[in-house]
């Protein structure tokens, strides 16, 4: 659909009538971006010391954000908790909740462009209760950047509003901080090379999966344990990019009621990449896919390298999107990065199959611009 207001307001992403979308170009840039983020080491230098000091005194760390940044915050918290063994002290929080009930300790805020009102409010509330504050952003001169103690800059601003670089960049900072805290050191070139391999190996399967999902009218994304983060981000990318109604559920939650809303017009995508997944989680994922197929839904799987080659093969609508192994990376870091690439490719290909431009997340339409403005004002606390 062409914009209903021409020209679009200043600051909007480039409008294109068809692919390649800007979103796809941003995904393709991520291997190079990964190498740059790790080589510059902003998180290692600026955020890791605050994290280490906070954990050493047994204080809480909250990682916060909104939208895609909230999901990046969830991944960041999982990486930190896993690396340090201090899961009880590291938590992800939605930004408005963090603003309404601030914790002492450390707040790590994630805001790609640094202007999200709820995230700025969370930083200000944390400061009022004496917490340390840090920000991961591509916009250091932003509103959020002006109110934090420490800041880690990521080098690329997403040129599409269906953010992909805005998700992967803070995750890469989290991977770097986590490695530093347990005494490891990442090879920037090897990490960028792994993401390039993910793009090459996942691309054909993502295109098939996108076409399959485009035949339906809704998508449900499932993930247990740490995979719930990728499932949530996938649902958001699908809704933003292809305008397909999409929900995310924890694996077990789906099987306790939400299955009733799934039918032959539905797609179900299960994410199974968490290296901590044991036999029970594999079995439960298989049961969820079987249940979806019994009611006629299209079944898609994003699988980690530990998932058996024949896992649920008779249940899937297309071959699984299988994330390659990464011997040079921590298993949890590789799973988080690989799942990010898989979900982004799938979201781009679904948008392409449905003929929607993902880059403006529908704000080329006046009504959606006006609706979005309702969420962009200041938050009084």
Give the domain CATH number at 51: 3.40.50.10490
Total domains present in the chain: 2
Confidence of residue 375 (pLDDT cuts 50, 70, 90): confident
Q: Cα 274 to the chain's mean position, in Å?
A: 14
pLDDT score recorded for residue 1: 53
What b-and-e string marks burial along 130-148, b requiring 16 or more CB atoms within 10 Å of the CB?
ebbbbbbbbbbebbbbebb
> Do the domain assignments include residue 198?
yes
- Considering the domain architecture, whether residues 172 and 313 belong to the same structural domain is answered as no
Query: Does residue 344 share a domain with residue 221?
Result: yes
Same domain, 202 and 125: no
Does residue 10 lie within any of the structural domains? no
pLDDT at 377: 67
Domain co-membership, 336 together with 212? yes
Asked if 162 and 293 sit in the same domain, the reply is no
Pair 166, 43 in one domain: yes
Name every residue whose Cβ is closer than 8 Å to that of residue 140 and which is 6 or more positions away in sequence. 114, 151, 153
Mark whether 127 and 80 lie in a shared domain.
Answer: yes
End of a domain among 129, 161, 181?
Answer: 181
In a domain, 372, yes or no: no
Phi-psi region of 93 (alpha: psi -120 to 50; beta: other; left: phi over 0): beta
- What lies within 8 Å, CB to CB, of 372 at 6+ separation is 363
pTM: 0.96
Regarding whether 342 and 199 lie in a shared domain, the answer is yes
Residue 7 domain-assigned (yes or no):
no
Instruction: Identify whether 275 is part of a domain.
Output: yes
CB 112 within 8 A of CB 129: no
Looking at residue 376, what is its pLDDT? Answer: 73
Considering the domain architecture, whether residues 173 and 203 belong to the same structural domain is answered as no
Q: Which domain holds residue 58?
A: 22-181
Give the pLDDT band (50/70/90) at residue 19. Answer: very high
Distance CA 252, CA 276 (A): 17
What is the pLDDT at residue 4? 63
pLDDT of residue 374: 82
Does 7 sit behind a cis peptide bond, omega within 30 degrees of 0 on the bond before it?
yes
pLDDT in tens, 102-136: 999 999 999 999 999 999 999 999 999 999 999 99
Q: Are residues 136 and 249 in the same domain?
A: no
What pLDDT is attached to residue 378? 64
* Residue 47 within any structural domain of the chain: yes
Span 174-200, mean pLDDT? 94
Contacts of 362 (CB under 8 A, 6+ apart): 240, 243, 368
| 362 part of a folded domain | no
Angle at 325 between CA 324 and CA 327, to 5 degrees: 150
Residues 138 and 208 both lie in one domain: no
Cβ atoms of 246 and 218 closer than 8 Å: yes
Angle between helices 188-214 and 30-40 (to 10 degrees): 150
pLDDT (0 to 100) of residue 183: 79
pLDDT at 5 over 80: no
| Domain match, 159 and 32 both | yes
Query: Span 23-38, mean pLDDT?
Result: 98
| Residue 6: inside a domain | no
**pLDDT for 221 beyond 60:** yes
Of 181, 204, 222, which residue constitutes the final position of a domain?
181
Domain termination site, one of 181, 203, 222:
181
């Amino acid at each position: 659909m062409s914009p209903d207001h021409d020209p679009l307001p200043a600051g909007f992403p480039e409008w294109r009538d068809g692919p390649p979308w800007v979103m796809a170009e941003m995904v393709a840039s991520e291997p190079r971006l990964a190498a740059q983020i790790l080589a510059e080491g902003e998180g290692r230098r600026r955020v890791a010391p605050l994290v280490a000091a906070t954990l050493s005194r047994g204080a809480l760390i909250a990682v916060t954000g909104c939208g895609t940044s909230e999901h990046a915050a969830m991944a960041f918290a999982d990486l930190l908790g896993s690396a340090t063994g201090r899961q009880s002290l590291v938590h992800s929080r939605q930004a408005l909740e963090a603003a309404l009930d601030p914790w002492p300790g450390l707040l790590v805020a994630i805001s790609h462009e640094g202007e999200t009102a709820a995230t700025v409010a969370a930083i200000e509330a944390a400061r009022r209760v004496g917490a340390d504050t840090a920000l991961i952003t591509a916009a250091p001169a932003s509103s959020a950047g002006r109110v934090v103690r420490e800041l880690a800059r990521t080098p690329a601003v997403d040129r599409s509003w269906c953010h992909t670089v805005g998700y992967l960049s803070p995750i890469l900072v989290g991977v770097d901080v986590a490695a530093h805290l347990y005494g490891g050191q990442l090879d920037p070139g090897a990490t960028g090379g792994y993401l390039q391999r993910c793009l090459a190996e996942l691309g054909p399967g993502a295109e098939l999966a996108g076409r399959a999902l485009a035949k339906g009218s809704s998508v449900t994304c499932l993930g247990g344990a740490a995979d719930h983060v990728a499932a949530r981000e996938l649902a958001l990318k699908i809704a933003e990019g292809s305008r397909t109604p999409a929900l995310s559920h924890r694996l077990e939650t789906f099987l306790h009621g939400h299955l009733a809303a799934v039918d032959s017009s539905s797609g179900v995508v299960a994410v199974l990449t968490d290296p901590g997944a044991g036999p029970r989680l594999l079995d439960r994922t298989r049961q969820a896919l079987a249940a979806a197929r019994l009611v006629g839904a299209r079944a898609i799987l994003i699988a980690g390298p530990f998932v058996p080659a024949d896992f649920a093969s008779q249940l899937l609508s297309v071959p699984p999107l299988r994330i390659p192994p990464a011997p040079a990376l921590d298993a949890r870091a590789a799973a988080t990065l690989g799942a990010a690439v898989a979900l982004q490719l799938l979201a781009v290909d679904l948008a392409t199959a449905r003929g929607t431009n993902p880059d403006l997340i529908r704000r080329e339409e006046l009504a959606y611009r006006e609706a979005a403005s309702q969420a962009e004002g200041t938050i009084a606390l």
